[in-house]
Chains A and B, each alone.
Chain A
């Protein structure tokens, strides 16, 4: 890119920055402005509001906060409010990975460690622009490539990750299952399937074989748009490799059939035995600092802490005696279902900690409308977010990563210590303190001296975490679960059991997922001819509430990115504002031209919702298993504005 092009990169924008909340805020009705209140008053109001709706209560826990906070939050929902309606934003990203992995292997974590990717032979990056979204993970990938690994990128966009690939497979959005099935069929037909592993450790192979049989390379080429030879090359490289890593991100999960997509990828690892060994495995790259930990701590509607199933009577009994309570013997509502229940009027009060669903949910206008229907909303956050603006009570909290002690769990299941480095502003208080204050007002006196006390309670009920004392976490710079023993460390990879000769030690066999291709719900047609997909940029993060505050030289605000051919077809130029319309909403955004896109494919981010609310366009078509919406596939059209308003202050 020459200097002139670079200079037009930015336009003058006044980015919205958020100021820390320093005092509790309350109001008597939503029409009034907030007024500052004492902690006493705010907590009393919050407790009364929640209490009033026992039986119609939901808890949004926070995938950004510590494990300890998530443990206490889910305990609040289950013990104080007697409900399993607790969930977090893992629902909008990687819930399908957890659902898919646990269906196949009985455990919802990525199976490998970062270091292993440096010592593998083939790396497949599927629906993942890790170079931008997970830059330090990608450094491990680059080490692997420099050690001789071949990397394949499967992504509709020719991303900066794809620039490092042996081969880029630019498939059409939402055709991941045809691609995976064609790879599976090719592996079987070329005699490259790992027959011994399939017989010993898997089930349902014959059914899988019949399922993928129609997906010839030429049919896959028609459906995915990727040349048959390229699909064949990937199939052979993956199957012939001594070790191979299959990594994915939201390109796989943010679809209406996200769990099916994940199952289709897992099938490939079962077919070739690329799981349960050093250097061979499956690696879903998580999007939030503690989205793994939030689920591990039971801040999800179907699992108790330590990933123990609520439907299992023995697990329930253990927690019932530990907590002296009765646990509802059924799954709670997930985030998606809670939003539907708001509409139906069966969910009336929500306690939302550190989440911003007013801007992060697909079809955000609908999400806001639904939250307005709540009878009572208490938001606990460090900023007055768009979600907090809808609340009745706002409680100022601390920033988990820099103002509290605790732990978080990363994508390789490594539990690491978080430490307090700065003092929180004003009257802001730690999440755990606030939750305990509310619990006390509702009849449950919980006494935790510090975060370590919470952690030790969790260790006593979760065998996978039992061996991780704070002391050991410090000593080893974090420990990966499972860690049942206080003396030993487990291997860096999961499911080594699948390779055991003894069937009892091998345990449950891993079933192939029998999943069918199902194209995106939001079809393109003459009226909405362009496929819009969404994603992240390097220097920004989610709804931008945090990342908007530092002066990144790379940031240029929101654009709708088109390929040069489409820009020419619609007669639009860089910086020209256009109307972008989907079946749900319409926004105005300036145009950017990106040669990594193809005709009919547009790209936007969700980083600048206060400038361009991209999620007004996205569709709330949800994965029936995991509840994740199809952020990655909307149908849109681009229209020139009546009077072409090229942004004049382009510099």
Chain B
């Protein structure tokens, strides 16, 4: 330790202990994320001349952040590999869609319900959580691969059920015209195209990307606080113990049955939230939105971000979402304009078997996505921001390997 010559000035900043806190990596990530989340809308509005497209993309990315946080409870904390997480997302979305649209008018009960979004968000949460417990029940005795297979099946069944019960859900025709959330008052201003800052009362979200962005920002913030507390709680430690060694956990007096059920239920409840938000923000819910690819994408997000570590999972979710929905779609036009600017513009047009550079790029985008994933996993197998424990463990493992290598070299 260095000797301090003079006591530091006790400014507001000093009292916040910022320097000590920033040394803690996870706090620093949260700080950066918060800053980016707050500044991002202003910057996009300013640089794109009032276009809210990117804000809408960010709002949808927020849905995936919620999903990733929820799945992380099941997979990262409790170590239960769940490949059907999209099912709970679907259940949350359909809960809102059914009870906040004209859909049920055509159903056998001939009555449309229009419950408010704020209520249905919590109903969706409860129903998704119950579904989580229901799925959890038959899987309690299963481990590893077998658990993954059962959850995979559940993930396939649920969207099918929503598709086949078309009397109720409209099946493949999807549910449209879903109600927009309303609030008693809202602030509007130049950012939303209004002339001056004023208060709108009452306010309907009506697909306003900025309003949805604010909503998902709040939802994600609440979710982060909740899971952080969960992780440090007795229950969080019990999940970790079950992940490590189920028999030993039972020997410690942990009721493994309820603890695992709680992991499924709590994990699912986040996607119930996300589902209601998804239904409202798109105004349309279709069985195709919840296919296996959704479950896998969310799983990729948490593995890539750093399984078990909440800030890592959030970074992973945002990264993957923007790669998939912003970077990759942008690629074909970018490649085309690059080609014309370096004098290879002729490649852009279709000729014979050549589909044109733009189309060709389009064809290989998913290949590129796969390459990005493989590269990232090779470079950082532990994820972008792994939990400190995983880091320590990997370091230990490499240290042991090094020792073994040295011993062999001397032998």
Task: Determine if chain A interacts with chain B.
Answer: no
Give me the interface of B with A, judged by CB distance under 8 Å. none
